[in-house]
Every structure is written in C-alpha cells, then in structure tokens.
Amino acid sequence: MKFRTLSSMTAILASMGVSYAVSAQSSEQVVSVYERQRPDYSVKGGRSGSFLFKPTLDVAGSFDTNIFAQESNETDDFIARIKPGFDLSSDWNNNSLSFFGNADFGRYFDNTRENYEDIWLGASGRIDISRGTSLSANIGYTDLHEDRGSPDALGQQANQTTYSTFTAGVGFLRDEALVSFAANAKYEDSNYDDVGLVGGGTLNNDDRDRQRYSGDVRIGYEIDEFYEAFLRVSANRVEYDNSQEDGGPQRNSDGYEIVAGAAFDLTGTSQGEVFAGYINQEYDSDSLSDIGDFTFGASLLWNPTGLTSVRGAISRTVTETIVADLDPTGAPAQASGILGTVFDLQLEHELQRNVLLKGTATYIKQDFQNTVRDDDLFNASLGASYLINRNFSFDATYTFNYRDTTTLRQDFKRHIFMLGLKAKW
C-alpha cells in the first residue's frame, strides 16, 4: 500500500467548500462526494507557460445570534463577507510548485468594531527524486482574528484579538518497497496583537507570543497491498518570547508522542487508519503540571454508495493556553495546557449531479491541565451547494455552537446562518 495520510477533521466548524470534480471515482484513490471531478462544472484556469492560474471570489452574508459568545445578554448581527482567492500551480509531469492566497473580509452591520480582515498566503513544492521518493517544502503566512468563543478570549475585550503566524516546513518520503519512511520538520512563529478593553486600558498579549519547533518520523510496513502497520514518533519544543511579562509562569515546554497503528486503503471504497500510544508535554516552570496521558486516534473516509461519503475522525492533542482558573484546592492557578479529544463525523451526499449536501457533528472534550476547568464543546452544521455552471455556485449553511464549561458564566450557544455565491475562473 502506498503511503498516504488521511487528514483528521479537527476543525470546530467544517467550511462549505466545493471541489469541482468527476462523478466517477479514481481507480487508484478513494475520493469523497465533494472531492470528485465534475468536468461539466470545473474550470480549466488561465495558462501562463507551464502554470495554471485559478482565481475565485466568494460573496456571502451571514447572521450570528450571539456574536460575543456570551451566556446571557446575547447580541446578534448581520455580517457581509467578501473572500477573494487564487491558486497558481505547475502543470508538470514530475515535481510540482504551487502558490496560493486567500482572504476573508468581514463587515458587521451594527457592531463595526468586530470587523476583521483575515489573509492566508503560502507556497509549496515537491521534488521527485525517483519513483516513490520525494522531497517537499512549504512556507506560509496568516493574519487572522481569534473567535470570541476561544477560551483565551476575555469578555471585557473591546475588539477581537488579531494574530499572525509564519510557518515553514520540509519533508522527505520514501515508499518504494515493503517498508515506507517519512520524516517532517516544521517551524511556527505566532505573534498576538494587544487589544483594547471595554472602559479603557489595553490587554497586553505579548505573553502569548511564541515559537514552536516540531518534527516527526513515520515508518510503515506493508502487510499486503491494502494494509500497512506503522510506528510514528514526534517531538516538539515550544519557546515563548516572554510569558512572564505580566507575572505569568514560564511556559516553555518540550513534548513528544509515540503511537503505533495500522492504515488501510481499499481502492474506491474506504481509506483510513487507527492508532494508539502515549503523549507527553513537560513544562520548564515548576508551577505548571506536566501532561502525560494515553493517546489514540482514527480517521476514515468511506463511500458506502456511489452517491454518499462518510468521514470520521478521532484525535487527541495538547494545545497552548494562558487560561487561569482554580486548582483542586480552590486556589488560583494557571493552566499548563489543554488536553483535547475531538470526535468528528461528516456526511456528504450527491442529491443531483449539481446539488451536494453536507452535514457535520463535532464533540470536543477539553481538560485544562493544572486546573479544575473542563469544557464540553458541541458543533453541528448542515449545508448545501448548488453548482450553477462552470463559473458559479451557490452555498447555504446553518451552524450551531454550544459550550458547557465548569467556569462560571462562560457557557454559550449560538446559531449562524450563511448564504453565499462563489465565482471561479
């Protein structure tokens, strides 16, 4: 079985994107309803030498019943969104090079201080050394806003927190025989902007600025053409610029994860993997408790019929936070990190050749280590895409968010309705 990774679906909300592609599945790869090639509804793009340029423009309107993610005194608003983007990719037989850019400009009708401008820029490339052996590299930059429902977002903020992230990564893959080998390394630099507070003053977010260095190695053994056993080892180092600037603890840490599992690829029908192991994150500060626990995960893409796809995923991760709460004795304490477990399910269905339906449900359990805080998050969405012709499609989505937390007055629920028109060339 050729080495492939089925991405885990850990996002809180699944975005309504359409890949325009064919009803017939590839004979070599499992593809979902939304990923299939549909020549009648796809664009060829503009050619410049051996590169294809494909621009897009999304215009959407949404209504959010609780824009500040509050337990009471909910505030609703309409948001107009404009989302331009482009993809410039090589059309070579060997090797590849691509560039992309996307933006999301949101404008609130009444609460204009919530307006935002998000951007994503990046490039990636691959060098094919020989059959089954390649080198890859990628680089990216994002400038985003933090959702009001984030645990690190304070209720007294006058604006949403904005932050930028620079990433760079390299990888090596060799999969030419019974044994496959893959190695990856990644650098990530995140910088958070200060934000004003209601009533005056400024929230200093410099204590959140950090760099993260990570790498992983995966070794697989092909049991037969459909099944593979694998071992994956990963490690990371997180370094804060100055997490003690406002009297907080030293948040630098080292972590690792070791898992063993099995992957399967039943051509045209299903593809996925399951694994289990141990995850650990050790903090430089004695005031922050280390995180060490059993970890597990799984991912699945299954096509029970030619018109329906099922995606499922389970994942467990340790993420950064600066949340403060109480320890088991009732004394104030800083959370060392969040041990989060995500269960995700997604259904896709082709009602007609140009009418696609999607439903998602996600449950997230967040344990704020070193404190008594526990959050339960539930997110669900229903969406439909109508492919009008090669150049235009219409999307409609309903999303529900709910948080149940042990922290007082931090529960919330909200409903989001969205209608959008997408153009592509």
Q: For residues 395 and 373, what is the distance between their CA atoms, to the nearest angstrom?
A: 38
Residues in the chain: 425
Entry pTM: 0.88
Helix (H, G, I), strand (E, B) or coil at 41: helix
Residue 242 amino acid letter: N
What's the pLDDT score for residue 16? 28
* Cα Rg of the chain, angstroms: 23
What's the CATH architecture for 33-43+124-140+155-424? Beta Barrel (2.40)
- The span from the CA of 196 to the CA of 112, in Å, is 15
Q: What is the pLDDT of residue 1?
A: 61
User: CB 201: neighbour CB atoms within 10 A?
Assistant: 10
**What's residue 189's pLDDT?**
98
- What is d(CA 357, CA 350) in angstroms, rounded to the nearest whole number? 6
Classify residue 247 by its DSSP letter.
S
Q: Which residues of the chain are modeled with pLDDT < 50?
A: 4-27
The per-residue pLDDT for range 221-233, each reduced to its tens digit, is: 999 989 999 999 9
Q: What is the pLDDT of residues 49-84, one digit of tens each?
A: 899 999 999 999 999 999 999 999 999 999 999 999
Cα–Cα dist 2/231, whole Å: 15
